[in-house]
Each structure stands twice: as C-alpha cells, then as structure tokens.
Chains A and B, each alone.
Chain A
Amino acid sequence: MFGLNKRDFSLLLIVAFLALAAPFILNPFPEGSAMAQFNAGYPDLMQRLVIFGIFAIGFNILFGLTGYLSFGHAAFLGVGSYAAIWMMKLLTMNVIPAIIVSVLIAGLFSLLVGWISLRRSGIYFSILTLAFAQMSYALAYSVLTPITGGETGLQPKYTDARILDAALEPGQQPRANLFGVEMNDGFELVMGNWVFTFNAGYYIAAVVMLIAFYLSIRIFRSPFGMMLRAVKSNQQRMNFTGLNSKPYTLAAFVISGMYAGLAGGLLVAMDTQVGAERMFWTASGEVVLMTILGGAGTLIGPVLGAGFIKYMENIVSKINETILEQWFAFMPDWLGDFMVAIIYPFIGKGWHLTLGLIFMLVVIFLPGGLVEGGQRIGRMFKRKQPQDNTPDASKTPAE
C-alpha cells in the first residue's frame, strides 16, 4: 500500500494511530487525581511532540543514513520560523503559505550551508555546521534586528500589512488559521472524570508529521537511501566505483534542512512568535539528543526520542519538592525524607541531569537507542524462535 511493503505499512499505521489518538493516549489519568500531572494531553505539548518529531525525522535522514553529524540544524529551524512569520506579517495569517515558504527558504539556506560544509567530513563537518549556526544566531541577535526583531523576536501585529487578509480592528490579536479554522480551536470531550482536548492545530501538525514520516520511509527504502547508506559505510569505496557522493550527501542535507524548516514553520503556525534563541547551538544539540536517544538510522526512533525528551522537559520538570513529599507521605518520616533527598536532584529544575545520564547510558550500552532496547527486550521473550536474518534498516544501529 502506498508503495510500502507490509512491514513498513503496518509501522505507518501504528504511528498514524498513535498520532491521531494522542489526546486519549496521553491523558490516561483522570482529572484532579494525583497522577494528573503526568497527563501530556494538552494542546501545547502535543503540538511540540509532533513538531519536534518532524525535526528529528529530518535530522535522521542526514545523520542516520549518511553518518554526517551536523551540530547546526537549529539554524534551519530558525530560518524557517523567520520566513513563516514574515509570510504571516506580509501576506496572510493562513498557515499554508507560511509553511510552504518556510520549507523553501530553509531549503535554500541549507543548500548554501551544505554546499560549503560538505566539502569536509567527520568532525570538521560538525564544526563547520556549528560555526554557520552560531553565526546565524549571532547575526539574528544583533545586526539583522530589522529582519529578526533581535532580542524581542517577532510577532504578527494588527498593524502589519497583510495583503490577502481583511484589516483588523486596532488592538485585535491576529490568529493563525487554516482557511478560517484557528489553530487553537478545538473542543473538550468530558467522559466521567476524564477530559480529552481535541485541538485543530495539533491535528494539522500531526497530519503534516504523518506525511513527513511517510516520505522518510520512502527515502529510507529508495535507491537514493541505499546510496546514502553506502556513504556512511564506506565513502572511499563508493568513490572508487566511479560515483560522486557529493550530490547524494548534499541532497540529504537539503532534505533534512527542509524538514527542519517545516518544523520551524509549524512552530510559528502554532504559537505565532519567534526568537533568535531557537537557533542557539543548544537547540541543535537537542535534536542530536533526540535522534540518538530514540535510535539513529531507524525509522521510528527519532519520533520516540523527540517525544521522550519533550515529555520529560514539560512533565518531569514540573515535579517539585512538595509533590515528591506527597508521594512519599505514606512512608515513615525519615525514610520519606531520605527518598526525597535522593530523587530531588533528578527532577524539577534538575531534569537535564536525568536527561544527560540517560543519554550517556544509551550511548554507552545501547548505540541503537531506545529502539534497539525494545528489540533486545523483544528478543528475550522469543529467544527460542529461529532468528530471521532479513536485512532491515531498523536493525542496523548507527555507527
């Protein structure tokens, strides 16, 4: 179906089901219960989960397939965001032109950066992309203030000349929409104690994510994807056979830059604002973390990694000392205090510590990321069955 084999199609179906039923799946705990803080089913977080999923899927096309480790992908996200916000300021608050233009501009920018950076490989490539991203960040923050808004960033205002839209009342806040459906439109479904939020913006982002995911499966399974894997396993040998690898790596770089631009455009579509810190190198580092954590070179890994990190960022960081004390209230005082003292550094503001530790453990013991972990657990349960040795991308960890 759709040019996919059975296995990939079922994977796509699973992802589609997870994405479309996310408001239910992410809200497993009834409202008002002690566990309700683990609910991730609110629009803002759900949107971020899928948007950063797109970002990581795109990064994976470059890093997972070719092995080129870019430390500057946030620049493309940022450029896409700026392009989208300018479309919203100048043309219309409809998100379609904003997203299309953000993809195109990010593609052009990544063509330029990739054309220069891909002349080197290995760590030099990482440093070059990092240098370009840091330059973009510094420029957006200082000299390009007329275009980027500098420290304050950009937001659409009612005074902007939107050619296609009707003029707004003074003071009226322009809202991003898709042919009249506003991004924060939605309804709440109340079932007993449970409240499920369905949000238009989330579903638009989720559909885009599914298309992006489908495209990445096609790229993985195509002869082009095979070429990219050849670059990763032995570029020299590939050159000796008379193939020029540069067009392939450059194409991969531009595609992943366009994915980043798409994510940037969607971010703007959801919250209609952008700031330069979106391009800082820590943001580039974050997408590296997401991809490796989930499993570089696998199809589903980056989505899982992005979901995992964004969930941690929003949920684990909210747990504070009082909540911890409530959890351990049933224990004797001294034991409860002891538990709180042990766990406290790892939650709340310290969630980065947990993230760093998990990331190190994954790199050390599970080079294939969470996906490989899942496969190992799966193998433990069905060890007695004969192993099938069909070559499969999802089983080759990144190297």
Chain B
Amino acid sequence: MDAIVIQILNGLDKGSAYALIALGLTLIFGTLGVVNFAHGALFMIGAFCAVTFSKFLNLSHIVIDETRKDFLGNPLKVEVPYIYDFFGQATGDAIIDWAVPLSIIFAIPVMIAIGFIMERGLIKHFYKRPHADQILVTFGLAIVLQEVIKYYYGANPIPTPAPAAFAGSFDFGAMLGFDPNQIIYPYWRLVYFAFAAVIIGAVFAFLQFTTFGMVVRAGMADRETVGLLGIDIDKRFTIMFGIAAAVAGLAGVMYAPINSPNYHMGMDFLVLSFVVVVVGGMGSLPGAVLAGFLLGILESFASMAVVLETLPGINQIIIYLVAIIILLTRPRGLMGRKGVMEE
C-alpha cells in the first residue's frame, strides 16, 4: 500500500507539468486550430522568468564597510542587494528567499506579452496554411527561442531553489495515517501539485462561468457562427493564446526548483506533452488534464523496482507504448470530440 501511494505521489509532480503544458496546447489547438510546437519553449521561458527575477532581486551594489577589514587591512567591500535599500535587510532576505513564487507576478505579464506577439506576429499568418506548415514554423520558432535563451543564460542548468520554508522533505505518510518514515515527500512537489490544481481549476472556471469564456467555448464549437453574430472572435482567441502561454509559463516558473532550468527542458517536455494531448484526445481540455496525470502516474509506477525486474526498461517507453495502443484502439483519444483533426 505504501509503495502504491508513494508512486502515485511521485507521479503527481510530473503529471502536473504534463497536464499544464497539455492544457495550454489544447487551448491553442481548440481555439485557433494551430499545432504549436513552440509550446515547450514557452514552458522553458517561464522557468527562465524565475531565473531572471531572482537574478534581478539579487542585483547589488558595493558598499565599503569601515568596521570590517580584509586581510590587507583595507576596509572590506560588501555587496549589498539594492533590495535591502528599499525594504531593509530582513524583508529583503525574505523577498529574495521567496523569489520563485514571487516571479509568478513577473511571469504573467511577460508570458501574456510573448503569447500576443507570437500570435499576432507569426501564427496569425498560418491559419490558412496546412497543419504541417504550422508544425514546421513553430518547430523553427522553438529552436530560435531555445538558442536565444542559451546565448544569454549559457548551456548549464541554473539552480533556482525553492523558499526555505518549502525546502527539504517531510513525512507525508504519517500525516495520511501510514507507518512513519515510509512515505517521505518533498514539500515543493506538493506545492507544485496544489499550484497546478489551482491553475487548472482557474482555467476551467474562467471558461465555464464567465461571459468571455462562454463566447470562447462557442467559438471553439463553431467559429463562423459566432463571427456572424457580430463578435470579434479573433480578438478573444488571441487573448486565449496569451492565457495558454501564461499557463505554460507558470508551469515552468514553479517547476524551476524541481529541475534546474536549462535551455532544452522545453523540448524534453514538449515531445511528451504532445503524446499526452493525443492520448487525452485532440481538442479536449478535460482529456488533456486527465491524460497528463494518468501518464505521469503510470510513468512512476513503471519505474518501480518490482515492475522493472519483470519488464526491464519499461519505464523508458511506457508513455509511448500507451500512446500507440490508445491511438490504435481509440482513435479519438480518451475524451476526444468527434470531428476534431480527423482526416
């Protein structure tokens, strides 16, 4: 029982990331009908938003401290972050410590802006071109974004720690009523899961309970009719693209402490997220979320020692295997709608 629970928990954080990226992909696909291969790059840019923000908080100036001497007897030069000047040392330290969660505030406008620029500047011109062209141009864009990030931040992963309050792990099993010291789980992964649940809930609530969301859903069902009713559906779809970019970006921001951001993390996640979208059903938002968590958990089950003994190497291929089986037996995916991407 413990072993099963811990595998489910282990699957949750990766599953959350898959679900968030797949949700954004499906939003873009469902609204604009564009297959966005640059979505992984948006996830990566989100993670680098966290890096940039914490670098920004750590910007310092040099102050000469007369009370302390260095080994030559000269007054010691101390680097003091600017943030101390504004908020004092204690508050400043706290802000620097909480850099990752705070960078959400920074990432949302940045990601929405990037989404707008991408949609208006590039993807707008590709609505009438075949899907293959859309895949290719966004694939090219993903390479460009990745290389730009690599140029400015280098090829090495940049460690971006979680706030001290959430560092380390705790005995999650004891809280759930299992034997103590059986299920040790890192705090931040639980935070990530909760965060992902909130974002997913927010997106669904936005689509379900607001007028804007209603119009967008109507546009997803029948774009032309909504247009004929005198609603500027293109504008709303552009906003949805921005929101999808922000969802991917936020997924990246919060993922930074789990996996130090590097320039190719987007591509690593993108391939799997596409598989997730296809398994969930092209164009189905609940399907994307469900498949994301399902495949994340399945992946962690496959890497259990017991399973690996009987089926060696299964953890490497399980997701692809499931995708192949699902695509061949249920062509529309788990929850795919009829008539979406069927040639």
Interface residues of A (CB under 8 A from B): 67, 69, 116, 119-124, 126-128, 130-132, 134-135, 138-139, 141-144, 235, 281-282, 285, 288, 292, 345, 349-350, 352-353, 355-357, 359-360, 363-364, 367, 398-399
Given contacts A127-B274, A360-B140, contact A135 B320 (CB under 8 A): yes
B327 and A143 contacting across the interface, CB-CB below 8 Å: no
Q: A364 to B122: give the CA distance in the assembly, Å.
A: 9
* CA A144 to CA B314, docked complex, whole Å: 12
Q: Can you list 26 A-B contacts with CB-CB less than 8 angstroms, sorted by A residue number?
A: A69-B132, A116-B324, A120-B331, A122-B131, A122-B343, A123-B35, A123-B135, A123-B278, A123-B282, A124-B327, A127-B274, A128-B324, A131-B320, A132-B324, A142-B313, A143-B313, A292-B136, A353-B151, A356-B140, A356-B144, A356-B147, A359-B136, A363-B140, A364-B125, A367-B129, A399-B132
Q: A138 — which chain B residues lie within 8 A by C-beta?
A: 313, 316-317, 320
Which residue of chain A has its CB nearest to the CB of B264?
Answer: A282
Contact B320 A134 (CB under 8 A): yes
Chain B residues with CB under 8 Å of A131's CB are: 275, 320, 323-324
Contacts of A353 in B (CB 8 A): 143-144, 147-148, 151
Contacts of A67 in B (CB 8 A): 132
Nearest 10 Cβ contacts at the A-B interface: A143-B313, A356-B143, A138-B316, A353-B147, A360-B140, A131-B320, A356-B144, A359-B140, A135-B317, A363-B137
Q: Does B221 contact A (CB under 8 A)?
A: no
Contact bitstring B116-129, A, C-beta under 8 A = 1, else 0: 00000010010001
0/1 string, B148-175, CB within 8 A of A gives 1 = 1011000100000000000000000000
Asked if B316 contacts A142 (CB within 8 A), the reply is yes
Contact of A120 among B144, B267, B321, B327 (CB under 8 A): B327
B228 to chain A, nearest CB (A): 28
Q: Among A67, A131, A357, which residue has the most Cβ atoms of chain B within 10 A?
A: A131
A367 contact set on B, CB distance < 8 A: 129, 133
Number of A-B contacts (CB under 8 A): 115
Q: Quick one: which of A127, A128, A352 contacts B147, CB cutoff 8 A?
A: A352
Does chain A have a CB within 8 A of B202? no
Task: Identify whether the interface residues of A are mostly helix, strand, loop, or mixed.
Answer: helix
User: In whole Å, how far is A282's beta carbon from the nearest beta carbon of chain B?
Assistant: 8
Taken together as a complex, chains A and B put the C-alpha atoms of A355 and B141 apart, in Å, by 11
| Interface residues in B, total, Cβ within 8 A | 42
Given A123-B341, A292-B136, A355–B143 Cβ distance below 8 Å? yes
Q: Which residues of B contact A398 (CB under 8 A)?
A: 132
The verdict on B130 contacting chain A, using a C-beta distance below 8 Å, is: yes
Q: Residues of B contacting A69 with CB < 8 Å?
A: 132, 135
Q: Mark B21-63, 1 if CB is under 8 A from A, else 0.
A: 0000000000000010000000000000000000000000000
Instruction: Give a binary string over B264-281; 1 marks a CB under 8 Å from any A CB, 0 the rest.
Output: 000100010011001000
Whether A399 lies near B130 (C-beta < 8 A) is yes
Residues of A within 8 Å of B327, CB to CB, are: 120, 124, 127-128
- Is there a chain A Cβ closer than 8 Å to B328's Cβ? yes
Does B139 sit at the interface, judged by CB under 8 A?
Answer: yes
Give residues 296-343 of B contacting A (CB, 8 Å): 312-313, 316-317, 320-321, 323-324, 327-328, 331, 341, 343
Contacts of A119 in B (CB 8 A): 328
Query: In the complex, how many angstroms separate the beta carbon of B213 from the nearest chain A beta carbon?
Result: 26
Chain A residues with CB under 8 A of B317: 134-135, 138-139
Give A345 to B149 CA distance when docked, in angstroms.
11
User: Which residues of A have CB within 8 Å of B320?
Assistant: 131-132, 134-135, 138
Task: Quote the shortest CB–CB distance from B73 to chain A (angstroms).
Answer: 39
B163 to chain A, nearest CB (A): 34
Output the least CB separation between A124 and chain B (Å): 6
- With both chains docked as a complex, state the minimum distance between the C-beta of A152 and any C-beta of chain B, in angstroms: 17
Beyond A67-B132, A288-B136, A360-B141, whether A116 also contacts B328 by CB under 8 A is: yes
A350 touches which of B133, B136, B151 (Cβ 8 Å): B151
Docked-complex contact B316 and A141, CB < 8 angstroms: yes
The distance in angstroms between the C-alpha atoms of A235 and B331, with both chains bound, is 18
Counting chain A CB atoms within 10 Å of each CB, the highest count among B148, B321, B327 belongs to B327
Residue among B130, B148, B313, B331 facing the most chain A CB atoms (10 A cut-off):
B313
Is the beta-carbon distance between A126 and B343 smaller than 8 angstroms?
no
Q: Are B331 and A345 in contact (CB under 8 A)?
A: no
- Complex CA gap A282/B143 in Å reads 11
